[in-house]
Amino acid sequence: MNYKIVRLNTRAKTSKTSSVLIIYTGGTLGMAYDESGALVPFNFGQILEKIPIINNLDVAITVISFPSPIDSSNVSVLHWKDMAYIIYENYDSYDGFVVLHGTDTMAYSASMLSYMLNGLNKPVIFTGAQLPISALRSDARENLMSSLEIATAKIDEKPIVPEVCIFFNHLLLRGNRSKKVQSVHFDAFESENYSPLAESGIVIDYQLAAIRPYEPSKKLKLLNDLDNRVMVLKLFPGITDKIMDACFAIPDLRGVVLETYGSGNSPSEAWFMKSLERAIAKGLIILNVSQCNGGRVIQGRYETSRELLNVGVVSGADMTTEAAVTKLMFLLGQSQDREEIRRKLTIPIAGEMTT
């Protein structure tokens, strides 16, 4: 991919000047209204005209833009590989990274990059906006400015937030714990099963106990073998064996994220369990997550979930669907050993679940 590179003349890079690489993939934040009133991507070389206060930051900023900015609804495995590769290739040259991304699939992308960037010790902050940067009441300015500040924040010369996060509407959330829950309000994301890492007000208040620790001995590795032969099956009252069997019969399917009720409950009818049992017997890995935004799967807590455990369904604990889908894709790409994958699904890779 031929990326567009823009170096903003905010500050000359010195030994004391922080540096940030902004990766613009697309999304509302980077849009502006043209003469006809339509939203179109603007030239990020002109971002200082849109947000002149960036000049006040003691930060050297470089922007790498996808050649054709994408609607986040079109994000694919290839785009995740591009994002991760850009960070990996430029890792030693910058103090932190800000990824501008559409909100619809931001939680999926942040989750996947948290797995792919093994040994990450620098901030990777995803952000975006509900309104374009040129709109009068846009949230883009606050989201971008705070993300830049977080991406360069240090204590004793060590980054405060050495992990993949989402910053949106005053909250910094762990990326693989986040979920989009609003399409018309500014508070678009929440993290029901893990506390915010920081909250911005007059100052940015970091919750240091919730943030993954800086580990200087770790070196960044790019793990970009992914396998997207997975699906999500959401249970609903009235689901039939024909629906389930048809889903499990998809050619080349390797993994299924099963969205169950409450704390991991499902129908207990014999046909339901037999359908799961047949699927697992032929090699499918089935990962159980809750349809609820909060709480966790506890297989065996109720009689209706005990059989799931018995037939070999893997508990996803308190993972979000976004974290579960991307983790399954990631692990399927890393190994062909079914039992190893099943075991690793129950172990945190990047803080995506509570054991």
Q: Are 301 and 323 in contact (CB under 8 A)?
A: no
* Res. 110 pLDDT band, cuts 50 70 90: very high
Inform me whether the pLDDT recorded for 10 exceeds 60: no
**Contacting residues for 15 by C-beta, under 8 A, at least 6 apart:** none
Q: Say what the pLDDT of residue 138 is.
A: 79
Mean pLDDT of 13-24: 81
Mean pLDDT of 178-205: 92
pLDDT tens digits for range 34-45 = 777 666 666 666
Global confidence as pTM: 0.93
Token digits of residue 248: 């499990």
DSSP 78: H
Residues paired with residue 124 on neighbouring β-strands, in sequence order? 97, 164
Helices 77-89 and 106-116, axial angle in degrees (round to 10): 50
Q: What percent of the chain has pLDDT over 90?
A: 73
pLDDT tens digits for range 233-265 = 999 999 999 999 999 999 999 999 999 999 999
pLDDT tens digits for range 306-334 = 899 999 999 999 999 999 999 999 999 99
Identify the top-confidence range among 44-53, 138-147, 293-302, 324-333.
324-333
Q: Say what the pLDDT of residue 288 is.
A: 97
Q: Say what the pLDDT of residue 6 is.
A: 67
Q: What is the mean pLDDT of the chain?
A: 91
Inform me whether the pLDDT recorded for 15 exceeds 60: no
pLDDT tens digits for range 75-101 = 999 999 999 999 999 999 999 999 999
Measured between alpha carbons, how far is residue 5 from residues 25, 45, 63, 69, 150 in Å? 12, 9, 6, 13, 22
Instruction: For tokens 């993290």, name the residue.
Output: 191
Inform me whether the pLDDT recorded for 13 exceeds 60: no
Inform me whether the pLDDT recorded for 164 exceeds 60: yes
How many CB atoms are closer than 10 A to CB 251? Answer: 5
**Contacting residues for 78 by C-beta, under 8 A, at least 6 apart:** none
Strand order in the sheet with 204-206: 4-8, 59-65, 18-24, 96-100, 124-127, 164-168, 171-174, 198-200, 204-206
Measured between alpha carbons, how far is residue 6 from residues 10, 50, 112, 243 in Å? 12, 15, 26, 50
Residue 28 annotated among the catalytic residues of the structure? yes
Burial 267-296 (b: 16+ CB within 10 A, else e): beeeebbebbeebbeeebbbbbbbebeeeb
**Contacting residues for 277 by C-beta, under 8 A, at least 6 apart:** 311, 312
Q: Round to whole Å and give the CA distance between 194 and 184.
A: 23
Residue of 28, 105, 127, 152 with catalytic role: 28
Mean pLDDT of 338-343: 98
